């Protein structure tokens, strides 16, 4: 489904950074700059709705890579093998689909392939209290945790915890 480019090993650890259809996704380009400064090589992969929250030109400039969000039969997606896959912010929709193994978008396929391949995956959910209490969400989180997916606690009454996310990522760095 996704061609993982087997080119020379990267100088810095690669992170596939998925952003979903929520307001904090607009901050991903600045976060990519912070990650590059910290020695990561971020590839931004927004969900189809998440791309509407991004300034794509800024995202590509700050990540130093083309931003991909969709499957295109005429232009297969080639991504380098990542050392970490992060979904931040991760929406209710993304988390419930992941828990069911659905890979109907590039963003979901990247995360699901990482889970299936035993790669480290970190999710930073961004869902309100009512959605977080939904039975499908609770089941999805339990399934994902049982598969080894890590979660960073977030609270929508506070700003998105970018610094905490970066600290958690650094603790998972190879």
Q: Where are the chain's structural domains?
A: 14-169
State the 10-residue block means of pLDDT for the chain, 174 residues long.
49 95 96 97 96 96 92 76 96 98 95 96 96 98 98 94 97 91
Separation between Cα atoms, residue 2 and residue 117, nearest integer Å: 13
How far is Cα of residue 42 from the mean position of the Cα atoms in its chain?
A: 10
The pLDDT of residue 174: 83
Separation between Cα atoms, residue 88 and residue 103, nearest integer Å: 17
The pLDDT of residue 20: 96
Residue 45: which of 6, 10, 85, 72 has the closest Cα?
85
pTM reported for the whole predicted model: 0.92
Domain 14-169, CATH number (from 3.40.50.2300, 3.40.50.720, 3.40.50.1950, 3.40.50.300): 3.40.50.1950
Separation between Cα atoms, residue 40 and residue 119, nearest integer Å: 16
Contact 89, 154 (CB under 8 A): yes
Residue 78 tokens read as 């080639």
The pLDDT of residue 108: 96
Contact 144, 138 (CB under 8 A): no
Element (H, E) at 85: strand 84-90
The pLDDT of residue 73: 65
Residue 131: which of 87, 95, 161 has the closest Cα?
95
Contact 43, 65 (CB under 8 A): yes
Q: What is the largest CA-CA distance in the chain?
A: 46
Separation between Cα atoms, residue 173 and residue 86, nearest integer Å: 12
The pLDDT of residue 71: 77
Residue 49 tokens read as 């709705």
């Amino acid at each position: 489904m996704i061609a993982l480019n087997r080119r020379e090993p990267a100088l810095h650890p690669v992170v596939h950074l998925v952003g979903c259809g929520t307001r904090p996704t607009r901050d991903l380009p600045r976060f990519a700059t912070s990650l590059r400064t910290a020695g990561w090589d971020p590839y931004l992969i927004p969900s189809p709705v998440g791309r509407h929250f991004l300034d794509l030109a800024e995202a590509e400039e700050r990540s130093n890579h083309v931003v991909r969000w969709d499957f295109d039969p005429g232009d297969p997606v080639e991504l380098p093998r990542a050392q970490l896959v992060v979904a931040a912010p991760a929406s209710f929709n993304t988390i419930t689909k992941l828990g069911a193994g659905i890979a109907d978008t590039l963003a979901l396929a990247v995360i699901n392939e990482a889970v299936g391949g035993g790669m480290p995956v970190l999710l930073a959910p961004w869902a309100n209290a009512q959605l977080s209490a939904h039975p499908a969400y609770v089941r999805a989180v339990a399934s994902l945790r049982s598969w080894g997916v890590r979660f960073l606690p977030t609270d929508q009454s506070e700003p998105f915890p970018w610094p905490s996310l970066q600290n958690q990522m650094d603790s998972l760095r190879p």
